[in-house]
Amino acid sequence: MHHYHAIGTTMTLSLALIAGCTTQDGAATTRGATGDKGDTGSTNAAPPDQRIELGGIHWGRDLNAAKAASKKSSKPVLVLFQEVPGCATCQHFGHFVLRHPLLVEAAETAFEPVLVYNNRQGWDADILTAFNEPPWNNPVMRYVDGDGRDLTPRQSGDYTLGGTARKMVSALEAAGRDVPGYLRALAAESDRRDLKRATFAMFCFWTGEAKLGAIDGVVGVRAAFAQGQEAVEVTYDPAVVKYENLVDSAQSMQCASTVFAHDEAQLAAAKAKVGSRASRFDGEARSAPESDHMHTLRATSYSYLPLTSMQAMKVNAALTARDAKALERWLSPRQIAQHQQVIDALRTDPDRLADLTAPSDPGLLADYAAKLDARLAARP
């Protein structure tokens, strides 16, 4: 059972009015600007009877309306060209990428999302022709402005979560829009190509996880044991934070009693900073028990939220530092609202969510988020 307490300030979201649009078939659809119904409930649930290929996003079906809305709001238009019913690739993209809670929120709040079937006649076929897209094809995502011009090259062939998040970031930047912190984090942690690792020993890895996890450019931390010492293995993006600066930060935080270098370049850089406290380490640090990971987060109601691994790290750091602004930076508006629902539920019944454990596997977050929503919506 979780033992929790709320840390930080209560943050209030202002919800936009529900915007209505009309499909090409004349059927009315509605989509809330911050939620599927303009409120904070059941935001992780897919629309009723929606096909697996379409994920959990509430898609519009009127491209002209979306472009008109884009001209007013400056939000990019996100166009999904999808085959429904579709092949295994189409279904995998819908189920594992387009259902991810953060991707759904970004699509519905930062974009004007529109669906175009690539295997139907009529209006859909006309749009395919206008965009020079082939019919009966694997999924394609286009990010366009209010005039239908591409903001970033079309997304085709990359059906990964990280690739989709990076495309969204690129489109928002090209449109001059603010990029939500949670979306940047999703893109950063999902792109493992150029990430490096560094390992530091300190007096307490609970402290090390929290302090090192707060550093910009750090995308992952792991409490571990190295050569008999408590240590934290850090995964970082060298394009954001250089190894030398990471060592400086760790030393200033008293989290570098030993700096374990994983190659000769790290060893030389570490010795220049900490002298004899630098040591070559070619082995693998032994992971600490699960209960020692994200120690502060585990003791709070935030642990019930469907967080990505990087979000969990940053939230753990913010909670340890009691930094409410950092919480707002890394959590999405829907997660903030959902956390308030969690608090309300636990006040009524402290054991109401006792059997729920947020998964670390990103592929399981959508199912967990839907389960949590259902539990919160159920009468006690």
- Lowest mean pLDDT: which of 5-9, 124-128, 223-227? 5-9
Q: Residues 80-98: what's their mean pLDDT?
A: 96
Cα(298)–Cα(209) distance, integer angstroms = 13
Per-residue pLDDT, 29: 33
Cα separations (Å) of 298 from 129, 274, 362? 52, 33, 18
**SS3 call for 226:** strand
Residue with tokens 């897209």: 133
Q: Residues 224-250: what's their mean pLDDT?
A: 96
The pLDDT confidence band at residue 190, using thresholds 50, 70 and 90, is confident
Tokens of residue 283, six digits: 């082995």
Residue 155, φ and ψ in degrees, nearest 5: -95, 110
**Residues 133-178: pLDDT tens digits?**
999 999 999 999 999 999 999 999 999 999 999 999 999 999 999 9
Per-residue pLDDT, 362: 84
Per-residue pLDDT, 28: 30
What amino acid occupies position 46?
A
Per-residue pLDDT, 41: 36
DSSP per residue, 149-210: -BSS--EES--SHHHHHHHHHHHHHHTTPPPPHHHHHHHHHH--TT-EEEEEE-S-HHHHHH
143: left (phi over 0), alpha (psi -120 to 50) or beta: beta
Residue with tokens 């602004």: 325
Alpha helix (H) ranges present in the chain? 63-73, 88-92, 101-110, 123-130, 161-174, 181-190, 205-213, 243-252, 264-274, 295-298, 309-321, 324-330, 333-348, 365-377
The mean pLDDT of the chain is 87
The pLDDT confidence band at residue 378, using thresholds 50, 70 and 90, is confident
Is the pTM higher than 0.95?
Answer: no
Q: Residue 271: name the closest of 252, 256, 283 by CA.
A: 256
**Residues 294-309: pLDDT tens digits?**
999 999 999 999 999 9
Cα separations (Å) of 84 from 160, 205, 227? 19, 49, 54
Per-residue pLDDT, 124: 96
Q: Which residues pair with 188 in a beta bridge?
A: none
What amino acid occupies position 196?
K
- Go through the domains of the chain in sequence order and give each one's CATH number: 19-188 (3.40.30.10)
Q: Residues 236-258: what's their mean pLDDT?
A: 96
pLDDT at 20 > cutoff 60: no
Name the strands in the sheet holding 196-201, side by side, starting at the edge strand that comes first in the sequence.
Answer: 278-280, 258-261, 196-201, 229-236, 218-226, 286-287
pLDDT at 229 > cutoff 50: yes
pLDDT at 11 > cutoff 50: no
pLDDT at 91 > cutoff 80: yes
Percent of the residues in the chain that have a pLDDT greater than 90, as a whole number: 81
**SS3 call for 131:** coil
